[in-house]
Every structure is written in structure tokens, then in C-alpha cells.
């Protein structure tokens, strides 16, 4: 009976050590990922301002689509789709 308890204690100890090692490795990876995200956030501001003309063009296209002609086409389609 004592042998079984000793074997169980050794197995539990080894499992706890493996868990602790895995936790340390995971926390190191999380720290590395957080540093990379911080670097990306600090350097993304300059890169995103280059996209301002593209964003403006998309806004103008979406404004044109939601304007009069598109609403008329929706109304006509709505009249013919109701059967």
C-alpha cells in the first residue's frame, strides 16, 4: 500500500513540474506576443495614414451607392418582388 502511495506522489509531483514548465513557456510566449503587438501598434499609425485616400474613395463610393439612384432601384425591385 505504501508503494502505491509513493508512486502516486511521484507521478503527481512530475505532473506538477511539467505543468509549471509549460506555464513558464506559455507566459514567455505571451510576453513575446505582447511586445510584438506593442511594436505594431506604435508603428502602425504612420502606415495607416497612407491609407487615407483609399478610405476616402470607399466612403465616396458608399455614399453614392446609398444615394438616390440606389434607393430608386431598391424601390422598383421592391415593387416587383412582392408577389
Residue pLDDT, tens place only, 4-17:
999 999 999 999 99
CA distances from 62 to 16, 58, 76 (A): 57, 6, 20
Distance, in Å, from the CA atom of 59 to the CA atom of 40, rounded to the nearest integer, reads 26
Choice between 83 and 28, residue whose per-residue pLDDT is larger: 28
All three cell numbers of 2 = 505504501
Residue 62, C-alpha cell as written in the block: 458608399
CA angle (21 as vertex; 17, 27 as ends), nearest 5? 140
> What would the pLDDT profile of 40-68 be if each residue is shown by its tens digit?
888 877 777 777 788 888 887 777 766 67
For the entire predicted model, the pTM comes to 0.50
What residue ranges do the domains of the chain occupy? Answer: 2-81
Question: 78: how many CB neighbours lie within 10 A of its CB?
Answer: 9
Q: Which three cell numbers stand for residue 10?
A: 511521484
Amino acid at each position: 500500500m505504501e508503494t502505491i502511495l509513493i508512486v502516486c506522489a511521484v507521478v503527481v509531483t512530475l505532473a506538477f513540474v511539467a505543468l509549471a514548465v509549460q506555464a513558464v513557456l506559455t507566459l514567455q510566449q505571451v510576453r513575446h506576443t505582447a511586445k510584438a503587438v506593442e511594436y505594431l501598434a506604435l508603428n502602425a499609425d504612420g502606415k495607416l495614414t497612407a491609407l487615407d485616400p483609399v478610405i476616402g474613395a470607399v466612403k465616396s463610393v458608399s455614399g453614392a451607392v446609398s444615394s438616390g439612384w440606389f434607393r430608386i432601384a431598391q424601390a422598383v425591385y421592391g415593387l416587383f418582388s412582392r408577389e
